[in-house]
């Protein structure tokens, strides 16, 4: 029996959503397989989350932590995408390729710097209370 357009749209939406998810997942797996930095970020994130559980930080502080961790991971993922696009355009040395890669890397650097400041502000009262 032929499908009506509503049914077709529903099925098409579902399959395209599933496909998009599969592509995004394989992108994430690629980054995890190939990028040393993201493995380091995951390691730091697990350590910080374990510390947060131990220190019983507040709900708002958990929210801030997740935003910061998510921000770093997303920037590393986008950085990898930019690096690959640049390599696709040229594998030769090119000043614009250098600028594109260096500027993309600087986003990660800026966010990492801000994260350290947030980390100090967030954890120092707890750690100070322990050591004093
Ligand atoms: N085609 C190019 N032309 C000019 N400079 C380049 C080119 N490719 C890379 N570079 C320079 O080398 C640096 C490192 O580039 P590379 O692609 O190796 O990234 P990476 O060190 O692997 O980064 P990550 O560790 O984040 O994956 C860039 O930031 C840029 O300064």
Average pLDDT of the chain is 92
Read off the pLDDT of each residue in 89-112 and give the average, rounded to a whole number.
97
Local structure of residue 56 (DSSP, 8 states): T
Distance CA 29, CA 45 (A): 18
**Which DSSP helix (H) or strand (E) runs through 15?**
helix 5-34
Tell me, rounded to whole angstroms, the distance of Cα 129 from its chain centroid.
Answer: 32
Query: Residue 98 C-alpha to ligand 1 middle, in angstroms?
Result: 7
Task: Say yes or no to pLDDT of 117 above 60.
Answer: yes
Please give the structure tokens belonging to residue 114: 């801000």
Protein residue whose Cα sits closest to atom 1 of ligand 1? 93
Distance CA 58, CA 25 (A): 31
Protein residue whose Cα sits closest to atom 6 of ligand 1? 98
Residue 83 annotated as catalytic = no
Read off the pLDDT of each residue in 64-88 and give the average, rounded to a whole number.
97
Q: Across the chain, which distance is largest between two alpha carbons, in Å?
A: 76
Contacts of 73 (CB under 8 A, 6+ apart): 38, 41, 42, 45
pLDDT tier at 6 (50, 70, 90 boundaries)?
low
Please give the structure tokens belonging to residue 56: 């019983």
pTM of the prediction? 0.84
């Amino acid at each position: 029996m032929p499908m009506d357009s509503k049914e077709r749209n529903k099925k098409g939406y579902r399959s395209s959503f599933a496909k998009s998810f599969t592509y995004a997942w394989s992108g994430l797996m690629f980054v995890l397989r190939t990028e040393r930095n993201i493995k380091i970020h995951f390691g730091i994130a697990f350590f910080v989350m374990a510390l947060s559980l131990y220190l019983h930080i507040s709900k708002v502080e958990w929210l801030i932590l997740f935003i910061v961790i998510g921000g770093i991971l997303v920037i590393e993922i986008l950085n990898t995408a930019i690096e690959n696009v640049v390599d696709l355009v040229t594998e030769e040395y090119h000043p614009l390729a250098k600028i594109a890669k260096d500027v993309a890397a600087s986003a990660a650097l800026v966010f990492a710097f801000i994260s350290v400041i947030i980390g100090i502000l967030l954890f120092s009262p707890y750690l100070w209370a322990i050591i004093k």
